[in-house]
């Protein structure tokens, strides 16, 4: 069976944590990787799967990911996945943010297969004074988990 065409759209700037995870995932999936401003949403019809990756800022995805999702045409049945990096990593708070993003994705007709949440180095605001949190993250284990996540995505396509 032919390999499905996969695109990953991401935003990442604080410590490029999300970009690090995105690169692992696209390598495993042999996917195309773009930042939001590099793509015209009409090209999405060429793909069978779209991955969205973003850091979490003020409890939300990057504002460019927010407007990307808002302006996305209806893409019924396009398979999709989501990954984030954040100071919190993975807890109930991040799960509640996932629920909101997934709901927006589903409103655009995307069929969300799976989500991955990764701890990222965070030196924002008061954390800067304390030397930051999550030093070394994403670490080797995080990269391995990203690899496993991509593997899992491939297995259900």
- Tell which positions 113-132 bind ligand FMN, by CB under 6 A: 120-122, 124
CB of 122 to ligand FMN, least distance (A): 4
For ligand FMN, which stretch binds (CB under 6 A), given 43-51, 54-62, 75-83, 143-151?
54-62
Q: What residues have CB less than 8 Å from 1, skipping those under 6 apart?
A: none
Choose between 63 and 157: whose C-beta lies nearer to ligand FMN: 63
Report the distance separating Cα 6 and Cα 51, nearest Å: 8
For ligand FMN, which stretch binds (CB under 6 A), given 42-50, 80-88, 103-111, 146-154?
80-88
CB of 53 to ligand FMN, least distance (A): 8
Report the distance separating Cα 151 and Cα 88, nearest Å: 24
Choose between 75 and 98: whose C-beta lies nearer to ligand FMN: 98
CB of 2 to ligand FMN, least distance (A): 32
Q: What residues have CB less than 8 Å from 119, skipping those under 6 apart?
A: 85, 86, 87, 88, 89, 90, 134, 137, 138, 142
Per rule CB under 6 A, is residue 86 in the interface with ligand FMN?
Answer: yes
Quote the tokens at residue 18. Answer: 């999300």
Choose between 75 and 146: whose C-beta lies nearer to ligand FMN: 146
SS (H, E, C) 75-122: CCCCEEEEEEEECCCCCHHHHHHHHHHHHHHHHCCCEEEEEEEEECCE
- What are the residues binding ligand FMN (CB under 6 A)? 12-19, 55-59, 85-88, 120-122, 124
């Amino acid at each position: 069976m032919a390999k499905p065409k996969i695109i990953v759209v991401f935003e990442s700037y604080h410590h490029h944590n999300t970009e690090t995870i995105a690169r692992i995932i696209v390598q495993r999936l042999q996917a195309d990787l773009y930042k939001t401003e590099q793509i015209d949403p009409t090209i999405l019809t060429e793909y069978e799967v779209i991955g969205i990756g973003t850091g979490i800022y003020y409890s939300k995805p990057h504002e460019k990911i927010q407007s990307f999702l808002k302006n996305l045409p209806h893409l019924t049945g396009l398979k999709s996945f989501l990954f984030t990096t954040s100071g919190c990593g993975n807890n109930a708070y991040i799960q509640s943010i996932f629920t909101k993003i997934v709901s927006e994705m589903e409103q655009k007709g995307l069929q969300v297969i799976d989500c991955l949440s990764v701890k990222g180095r965070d030196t924002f605001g008061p954390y800067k004074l304390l030397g930051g949190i999550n030093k070394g993250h994403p670490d080797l284990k995080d990269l391995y988990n990203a690899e496993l996540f991509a593997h899992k995505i491939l297995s259900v396509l």
